[in-house]
Amino acid sequence: MTSRVPVPARTVSAPTVPADRLFWSIVEASGIRAGRIPSGLWPLIEEDVPVDPEQLWGIAVPIDDHRIAACAIRSADLIDHAGDAVALTPAELPGFIPAPAAAFNFLVGEHEPRAARRARLRRHCVAAACTLLSVVLIAIGLSRRTAAWNAEALAARKATDGVIASIAPHPGWSRDDLALELMHRRQAAPAEFVPPADAAEALAGVLANWPTQVANRPQAISASGASASISVTVPGDAQAFLAALKPPEGWRLNEPRLAAIDKVTRLNLELRKVGGDEGEGTR
C-alpha cells in the first residue's frame, strides 16, 4: 500500500525588471492611452533619460487627466529579461509614480508574445465570424420579410383589380378610370339629389348588439342608412330576447310584432335612427 503525499502547486511568477535598468519620467500630456510611448513624446522625456531613444523601448501610463508616467528600458535588456514570458513589469516603482507596477507591461506592440498575439487574433476572428453570421441571418430575415410583404401587396393588388373588373362598366378600366367616372357623375347629378345613406353602419350596429346569450334563430335582417328590420324566431317566451337586444347608440327600437306558432315565437322588429330619414334598404 502506498500513500500519496500532497505536493503544493508551484507558483510561476512573472519576470520583472530591476529598478536600476529602468528610466522614469512624468510629463504633462493628455489624451494618451496606456501603451507604447508615442514618438511625439520622446522629446519631452529626453531630459530625464540620458540614453539615445533609438536604443529604448518605453511604456506610457496616464496617472491623471493631464499627466502621464513614462518608463523606458534598453531594448537589449528587454530581450534578456523577456524570454518566453507573457508579461514583463518593473520589480519596483519610484515613490513619485502613483500607478501599479502591473500597468507598466513592456510586452506590447512589436514585443507582444506570440501566444498572446495568437490568442488575440483568435478572439478577433471569432468575434468577426459571429458578426458576419449575425449580419447574414439578419439579411436572410429581411429578405424573407420583404418577399412576404411583396406577396401580400401582389395579392391585394389582384383583389383590387378583381373588384374593379366586377364593377367597371367597360373591360380594362383601372381605378383611375372609375374615380374619373365617379367624379363626372357627381358633377352631373342635380344639386338637390341626396345619395342614400350607407347601410353598413346600421347593419354593424345590429350585429354588434345581437344577443347571442339567448337562444334564437335569425330569419332575415334588412338595413338602410336610417332603419333596420329584423325577423327572428325564439323558442317559447320572447321577453328574454327582447330584454337582451339593445339598440345601437342613437337608435330606438319600435314596438315589436309577435306571432306565436306552436312553441316558437316569431318576432318582427324595427330599429330606427333617432332623427334620421330612411333611405334605400340593403339586404
What residue spans define the domains of the chain? Answer: 16-114, 200-273
Residue 69 phi/psi, 5-degree rounding, is: -100, 130
Q: For residue 276, what pLDDT is reported?
A: 57
Cα distance between residue 96 and residue 69, in whole Å: 9
Q: What is the dihedral of CA 249, 255, 261, 262, to 10 degrees?
A: 80
**Helical H runs in 83-194?**
114-167, 175-188
Phi-psi domain of 83 (left: phi exceeds 0; alpha: psi -120 through 50; beta: other): left
- Which CATH architecture fits 16-114? 2-Layer Sandwich (3.30)
DSSP letter assigned to residue 129 = H
Cell digits of residue 193: 339629389
Question: How far, in Å, CA of 225 to CA of 199, rounded?
Answer: 4
Q: Are 264 and 235 in contact (CB under 8 A)?
A: yes
**Cα radius of gyration rounded to whole Å, the chain:** 46
In terms of residues, how long is the chain?
283
Q: Give 168's contacts (C-beta < 8 A, 6+ positions apart).
A: 177, 178
Q: Which residues pair with 28 in a beta bridge?
A: 67
Using CA atoms of 148, 152, 153, 157 in order, give the dihedral in degrees to the nearest 10.
150
Residue 143's pLDDT is what? 94
Phi, psi at 22, each rounded to 5°: -115, 155
Q: Write out the three cell numbers for 182.
A: 365617379
Cell of 89: 513589469
* Residuewise pLDDT in 10s, the chain (283 residues): 433 434 343 334 578 888 888 888 888 888 888 888 888 888 888 878 878 888 888 888 888 888 888 888 888 888 777 777 778 889 888 888 888 888 888 888 777 777 777 888 899 999 999 999 999 999 999 999 999 999 999 999 999 888 888 888 888 888 888 888 888 888 887 877 777 777 787 788 888 889 889 899 999 988 887 888 999 999 988 899 999 998 888 889 999 998 888 889 999 999 888 875 544 444 4
Q: What is the pTM of this model?
A: 0.40
pLDDT at 136: 94
The amino acid present at 254, given as its one-letter code, is N
Contact criterion met (CB below 8 Å) for 226 and 274: no
